[in-house]
Chains A and B, each alone.
Chain A
Amino acid sequence: MEDTDTFIPQERPAPAEKAAVETLLAETTQHEGYFQLVWRRFRKSKPAIVGGLLVIGLAIMAILADFFSPYALDEAILENSFIPPTQVHLVDAQGKLHLRPFVYALGFTVDMKTFVATWTEDTTKIYPVSFFVKGSAYKILGVIPSDRHLFGVAQGGAIHLLGTDKLGRDLFGKSCEAGRISLTMALFGTLISVAIGSVLGVTSGYYGGRTDTVIQRFVEFVNCFPQLPLWMSLAAVVPRNWDSFRIFIIMAFIFAILSWTTLEREVRGKVLSFRETDFILAAKEMGASDSRIIFLHLYPNTLSHVLVILTLTVPTIILAEAFLSFLGIGIQEPLVSWGLLMRNAQNVQTLGQYPWIMSPVLFIIMAVLGFNFLGDGLRDAADPYAIM
């Protein structure tokens, strides 16, 4: 029996009631709710679980970016520009195995012809990596003061898992922080598109007739626009001198205005198929108002599909935002997003010398894969009565 969280009384008062309790138990296991069924099917799909964990992991890293980053997030030391990703070793130059991972000290040589600094490992000096170290002070969620960082090395050593960028910022820490903007932007944009899609979809499906025709023509019209070019041209006309928060909000709306059509069609289809069912007719016969029918009976039935499309819309917005910010017409400094961190890679020369400046892409790939897996798993699970 899988159900372990069912409450079974320890002391059984009378044998006569035992049978009653057992029938009750038998009944509760038989009648699983819709979301229990969805969950049961969802957790059977390994990719979906992996996707969910990826998304949760990235979200935690974004929220607690100060903790995951070994350095203060606003720290930018120009002398540290373009340090390659630090290699974490277990075996030192003498072939001795260390139980605690360590990094070598950083030295650099300057090419006297080009004045390009090259960072090298100084194998004579060893800095062990320690966990939960004391470092720069910050506030968890902006409230609780703390100075602990997940990992770090002692003073004098440096650990940059993904290297540093032109301004000497630690790319790993910055990528964690960038998740805040990239993920909230995608989520916010998706929520707006869900709102538009749901309202139009329900209206279109429930009222039908001329309203339906007009809305469907409008959807067709919106679908004619190629997403990327329209996003780009709208993003480019946003005045650059606005403050970055306003640009953030506007960008989310820009992404939303072309993303709602799939959802609208799905919701409309669902509402159409439910509109003629007995339970809706019964509600109508009992004199329920339109809003009661829509909000209590119709819309909740489309929620699982809304959730699926929501999950699958997020990655498209993440990718688009990354591209636009990469081109410099998206998010503006001082906000950071994954795409914006990769901006310097636009220059092939810089890219050739410091290929690790592309590393924030790892976070983009993890996020997009995570949401895609999650959405795919949810799609299979959303209809738990279907035979697989």
Chain B
Amino acid sequence: MLSYIARRLVISVFLLLGVWAVSWIVIQLPPGDFATTYETYLMNQGSMTQQQAEDAGNRLRKQYGFDQPQVVQYINWMKGIITQGKFGPSFAYGRDVGELIGERLGYTLVLALAAHLISTLVGIFVGIYVAQHKYSFWDNLASVFAFVFASLPRFWIALVIAYTLVFVFNQHHITSFFSPEYALAPWSFAKLGNFIQHVWPIVMIAGLGGVARNMRVMRGNLLDVLGAQYVTTARSKGLAENKVISRHAVPNALHPIVAYQGTVLPYMFQGEMEAAIVLGIPTLGPLFYDSLVTQDIYIAGSLLFIYAAMIVLGNLIADISLGFLDPRIRYN
């Protein structure tokens, strides 16, 4: 078991290194560098001459080491992240990208994980229910819902919710975490309630697709398990049906759901991102989008890395917990 965990860890480290390299490539893709953007900005907004702007740009290049070869820059970037948590300069915010991400990462994680948790629980329970009532009215209804919700564009659901909240219910503070009266108040239950009032659309939109997937997987697995002989044995022993389900069938049908958690997590992040961009709620999503539009490329690259790192981590946790849960998995 320990060697299995160790091996997964080593693989994850290599994956992270690869992800790092790709993020760096994305940062380097736009023509020119960060200082070039700065020069254009100075010429357009600060009405400097080209010479002055170039001098300022070169000073910046020296300061951040953009005049050094690619490999050195790459290694410095990695070193900065590991040793000081510095992800590079942000042009629009005039601060280090690491700080910016740090401010928003917590909220993003909370929202994505809440969506993840809710969609998993709801999906599993609905899946268990409909598997027991195969082809019943509720089963068909659930399938239709799963299908339709997987087909609706998430950005459109967000638009509809924004429209309804603003123009039907006159809720005007949809683009922030809290209403103004709670923004600076210390945490309390009222503030938490206010928080939920603002973020439920994101959690719902991100979670919807997950509910549908989890439900379908759970239904399919449970139906397979219910057809197994040991379930028939349990029934013929005279066990109550709900005991057969909860003790014998469900635990064996859960493994694929756990194995699949790592792959579901990216969907949650993407859903969270899509909804937050449309609704303008300040999590990592809008930061990412704005940085792409303004070509504030260090933010984009760093966030790409953070997202990928979270997926690698999610997969690692899923693999390890599956190893604990399912003794049939071999570790070599």
Q: Do A and B associate with each other?
A: yes
Can you name 11 A-B residue pairings with CB atoms under 8 Å? A224-B308, A226-B307, A227-B266, A229-B303, A233-B292, A236-B292, A323-B154, A329-B293, A348-B163, A351-B159, A368-B153
Known: A345-B159, A361-B156. A221 touches B18 (CB 8 A): yes
CA distance A368 to B151 in the complex (A): 6
Main secondary structure of the interface of B (DSSP, over half): helix
CA distance A322 to B152 in the complex (A): 11
Interface centre among A225, A229, A230, A368 (most CB of B within 10 A): A229
Contact B269 A226 (CB under 8 A): yes
Contact A225 B19 (CB under 8 A): yes
Contact B311 A237 (CB under 8 A): no
Known: A232-B289, A329-B293, A351-B163. A237 touches B277 (CB 8 A): no
Known: A228-B270, A229-B270, A234-B26. A323 touches B15 (CB 8 A): no
Q: C-beta contact mask, B6-20 vs A, less than 8 Å → 1, else 0?
A: 000001000100110
User: With a CB–CB cut-off of 8 A, which chain A residues contact B156?
Assistant: 342, 358, 361, 364
CB proximity of B222 to chain A, nearest CB, Å = 18
- Residues of chain A from 117 to 159 with CB closer than 8 A to chain B in the complex: none
A88 contacts B by Cβ under 8 Å: no
User: With a CB–CB cut-off of 8 A, which chain A residues contact B263?
Assistant: 223
- Residues of chain B from 273 to 332 with CB closer than 8 A to chain A in the complex: 273-274, 277-278, 288-289, 292-293, 295, 297, 300-301, 303-304, 307-308, 311-312, 315
B→A interface (CB under 8 Å): 11, 15, 18-19, 22, 26, 29-31, 147-148, 150-156, 159-160, 162-163, 166-167, 263, 266, 269-270, 273-274, 277-278, 288-289, 292-293, 295, 297, 300-301, 303-304, 307-308, 311-312, 315
CA distance A352 to B159 in the complex (A): 10
Contact B307 A323 (CB under 8 A): no
Contact B153 A365 (CB under 8 A): yes
User: With a CB–CB cut-off of 8 A, which chain B residues contact A237?
Assistant: 26, 29-30, 297
User: With a CB–CB cut-off of 8 A, which chain B residues contact A369?
Assistant: 147-148, 151
A→B interface (CB under 8 Å): 220-221, 223-230, 232-234, 236-237, 239, 315, 319, 322-323, 326-329, 342, 345-346, 348, 351-352, 355, 358, 361, 364-365, 368-369, 372-373, 376
CA distance A155 to B68 in the complex (A): 68
Contact B15 A326 (CB under 8 A): no
State which of B152, B160, B288 has its C-beta within 8 Å of the C-beta of A232: B288
Contact A236 B293 (CB under 8 A): yes
Contact B270 A226 (CB under 8 A): yes
CB proximity of B282 to chain A, nearest CB, Å = 16
Q: Which 7 A-B pairs have the closest CB atoms?
A: A236-B292, A228-B270, A368-B151, A237-B29, A369-B151, A226-B307, A226-B266
CA distance A228 to B162 in the complex (A): 22
Known: A329-B293, A361-B153, A369-B147. A228 touches B273 (CB 8 A): yes
CA distance A225 to B20 in the complex (A): 11
CB proximity of B21 to chain A, nearest CB, Å = 10
Known: A225-B22, A352-B167. A365 touches B152 (CB 8 A): yes
Contact B147 A229 (CB under 8 A): no
Contact B162 A348 (CB under 8 A): yes
CA distance A254 to B266 in the complex (A): 18
User: With a CB–CB cut-off of 8 A, which chain B residues contact A239?
Assistant: 31
CB proximity of B107 to chain A, nearest CB, Å = 17
User: With a CB–CB cut-off of 8 A, which chain A residues contact B311?
Assistant: 224-226
User: With a CB–CB cut-off of 8 A, which chain B residues contact A368?
Assistant: 151-153
CA distance A105 to B270 in the complex (A): 46
State which of B166, B269, B289 has its C-beta within 8 Å of the C-beta of A352: B166
CB proximity of B163 to chain A, nearest CB, Å = 6
Contact B166 A348 (CB under 8 A): yes
Contact B289 A327 (CB under 8 A): yes
Known: A226-B311, A369-B148. A233 touches B293 (CB 8 A): no
Contact A323 B159 (CB under 8 A): no
Name the residue on A nearest B269 (C-beta).
A226
Contact A224 B312 (CB under 8 A): yes
Known: A327-B289, A348-B166, A369-B148. A229 touches B159 (CB 8 A): no
CA distance A311 to B54 in the complex (A): 52
CB proximity of B210 to chain A, nearest CB, Å = 15
Contact B292 A220 (CB under 8 A): no
Name the residue on B nearest A235 (C-beta).
B292
User: With a CB–CB cut-off of 8 A, which chain B residues contact A221?
Assistant: 15, 18-19
User: With a CB–CB cut-off of 8 A, which chain A residues contact B30?
Assistant: 237
User: With a CB–CB cut-off of 8 A, which chain B residues contact A226?
Assistant: 266, 269-270, 304, 307-308, 311
Known: A224-B15, A322-B153, A364-B153. A329 touches B166 (CB 8 A): no
Name the residue on A nearest B172 (C-beta).
A348
Name the residue on B nearest A370 (C-beta).
B151
CB proximity of A320 to chain B, nearest CB, Å = 9
Interface centre among B148, B151, B167 (most CB of A within 10 A): B151
State which of B155, B269, B312 has its C-beta within 8 Å of the C-beta of A323: B155
CA distance A271 to B14 in the complex (A): 28
Interface centre among B22, B167, B292 (most CB of A within 10 A): B292
Interface centre among A220, A225, A230, A342 (most CB of B within 10 A): A225
CA distance A373 to B148 in the complex (A): 10
